[in-house]
Amino acid sequence: MSSRHTGATRIRRGRWEDLDAILDLLTEYGLPREHFAPFYTNDPTYRPEQSWLVERDGRLAAHLRVFDRWIYAGGTRLRIAGVGNVITAQAYRGRGYAGQLLTAMLAAATEEGFAYSLLWTHLPALYARYGWVSLPEERVHASLPPAEPCAVAIAPFRDDDLPAVMQLYEATNAARAGPTVRTPAYWRGQLAWLGEDRQGFLVARAAGGELVGYARSRPGAEGVELLELGLAPDQFAVGRALLAALPAGPGRRLEGRLPPSLRPVFRPGECTVITDPSLMGRTVHLAALVRALEPVWRARLARAGLAEGTLQLATSAGHATVRLSAEGVAIEPLPVEAMPLALDETTFGHLLFRGFDAAASARLAVRPDAALLQVLFPPQDFVIWPSDAF
């Protein structure tokens, strides 16, 4: 178990016997222990060493949790270190403990093979000092659609619906960028730690009984928060029927995240898309990230009729020249003369999760490698479902 001492201050990884103290510390967010406990006791991926602790004079002074997750990334899977529950006790703030935890966590995450890291924050300047960059998300704000005739049966989720929901989830999310890869154990744990009201988790079945859609929600500040929407291809009428059936507040307002492919569930003028800057990301282990992306990059080169391609990357985890060919990938030091053309962390993150979309084209179309970037990073159907947020 790794630890580091600085005078009377000790930085170490957690143990099971630390859990009560961790939950007590988390109440300084202004929420009770009961709010946080399910995320630790019901999450099958949690291990106490994923909690990083600062002890000061024998007391727990600060905490950071790593959420060990795999996410879909446009045809491949990436292991990410999700960062959350970062908190310093009121009596110990202003001493740099959060930064010390981030530094220790990043060193270990690199050794442990995490490729990338994600977090949500209202303090972007803190995390920017340690290499994280903004990866803005898009939030949809809308009024819930009115009920309309639709040839599906809608009912609250039951436990025996889970296999079909899992199957639809994987079928619709595996090609996207951002959704979490969920095991059966993760699904069961998530249903417990979110504490969902089954009236807000609806499933839609066609006349033959097959599942064609589901929606997960919870009460929001002004109506309902959409946690997740799963639809069989082109079943937008089913999606509207599910949204119309969600329990909502007096204003019937809906807020959530939807990938571009699902936004046609709303008709023109029914929703507004708002940029949310709170998501941040950074490369943790550049070689691991490149190795994970290699199969899809090589397949895209082949489909485009290209024999090879070269990328220059200048990320928070290091700088490298990446040479792709039919034989494989080579990662080499980045020459100084190539630095002006290297993709920085922000640009690389945008391409990784959103691809060479209209926003990227506006900034990158003049680059000499723009054609290659379009091949390697096609536009992505990006979403991180709020049900997976940490």
**CA pair distance 302, 257, nearest whole angstrom:** 33
Residue 383 domain-assigned? no
Instruction: Tell me what pLDDT residue 43 has.
Output: 95
Residue 125 domain-assigned? yes
Across the range 281-297, mean pLDDT stands at 97
Q: Which among 257, 276, 295 is the end of a domain?
A: 276
Q: Are residues 117 and 8 in the same domain?
A: yes
3-state secondary structure of 278: coil
Instruction: Tell me what pLDDT residue 338 has.
Output: 77
pLDDT digits (tens, 9 = 90+) for 11-24: 999 999 999 999 99
pLDDT digits (tens, 9 = 90+) for 73-101: 999 999 999 999 999 999 999 999 999 99
Instruction: Tell me what pLDDT residue 13 has.
Output: 98
Q: What is the Cα gyration radius of the chain?
A: 22
Instruction: State how far the alpha carbon of 362 is from the alpha carbons of 174, 273, 366, 377, in Å.
Output: 28, 20, 9, 15
Residues 6+ apart with CB under 8 A from 366: none
Instruction: Tell me what pLDDT residue 252 has.
Output: 83
3-state secondary structure of 366: coil
Higher pLDDT pick, 147 / 383 = 383
Residue 13 domain-assigned? yes
Residue 382 domain-assigned? no
Q: Are residues 83 and 143 in the same domain?
A: no
Residue 80: closest CA among 132, 23, 18, 16: 132
Q: Are residues 57 and 20 in the same domain?
A: yes
Across the range 320-346, mean pLDDT stands at 92
Instruction: Tell me what pLDDT residue 2 has.
Output: 55
Q: Are residues 338 and 267 in the same domain?
A: no
Instruction: Tell me what pLDDT residue 293 has.
Output: 97
Q: How many helices (H) and strands (E) does the chain have?
A: 11, 20
Res. 325 pLDDT band, cuts 50 70 90:
very high
Q: CA 43, 47, 49: angle at the middle one, nearest 5?
A: 145
Are 352 and 283 contacting, i.e. CB atoms less than 8 angstroms apart?
Answer: no
Residue 187 domain-assigned? yes
Instruction: Tell me what pLDDT residue 119 has.
Output: 98
Query: Is pLDDT above 80 for 71?
Result: yes
Instruction: Tell me what pLDDT residue 177 has.
Output: 98
Res. 152 pLDDT band, cuts 50 70 90:
very high
Q: Which two tokens stand for residue 199?
A: 């009236």
Percentage of residues in the chain having pLDDT higher than 90 = 89
Query: Is pLDDT above 80 for 249?
Result: no
Q: Are residues 267 and 360 in the same domain?
A: no
Across the range 312-323, mean pLDDT stands at 96
Q: Are residues 222 and 311 in the same domain?
A: no
Query: Is pLDDT above 70 for 202?
Result: yes
HSE (CB half, 13 Å, CA atoms) of 28?
17
Q: Are residues 241 and 369 in the same domain?
A: no
Q: Are residues 268 and 247 in the same domain?
A: yes
Query: Is pLDDT above 70 for 349?
Result: yes
HSE (CB half, 13 Å, CA atoms) of 218?
8
Residue 384 domain-assigned? no
Looking at the structure of the chain, the number of domains it has is 3
Query: Is pLDDT above 60 for 6?
Result: no
**CA pair distance 93, 370, nearest whole angstrom:** 46
Residue 333 domain-assigned? yes
Query: Is pLDDT above 60 for 31?
Result: yes
Q: Are residues 324 and 260 in the same domain?
A: no
**CA pair distance 189, 42, nearest whole angstrom:** 5
Q: Which among 135, 168, 185 is the end of a domain?
A: 135
Across the range 206-227, mean pLDDT stands at 93
Q: Are residues 267 and 155 in the same domain?
A: yes
Residue 381 domain-assigned? no
Q: Which among 111, 135, 159 is the end of a domain?
A: 135
The boundaries of the domain holding residue 207 are 139-276
Q: Are residues 242 and 264 in the same domain?
A: yes
CATH number at residue 100: 3.40.630.30
Instruction: Tell me what pLDDT residue 250 has.
Output: 67
Query: Is pLDDT above 90 for 221?
Result: no
Q: At what angle do helices 162-173 and 184-193 cross, to 10 degrees?
A: 110
Q: Are residues 131 and 144 in the same domain?
A: no
- In this prediction the pTM is 0.94
Query: Is pLDDT above 80 for 316?
Result: yes
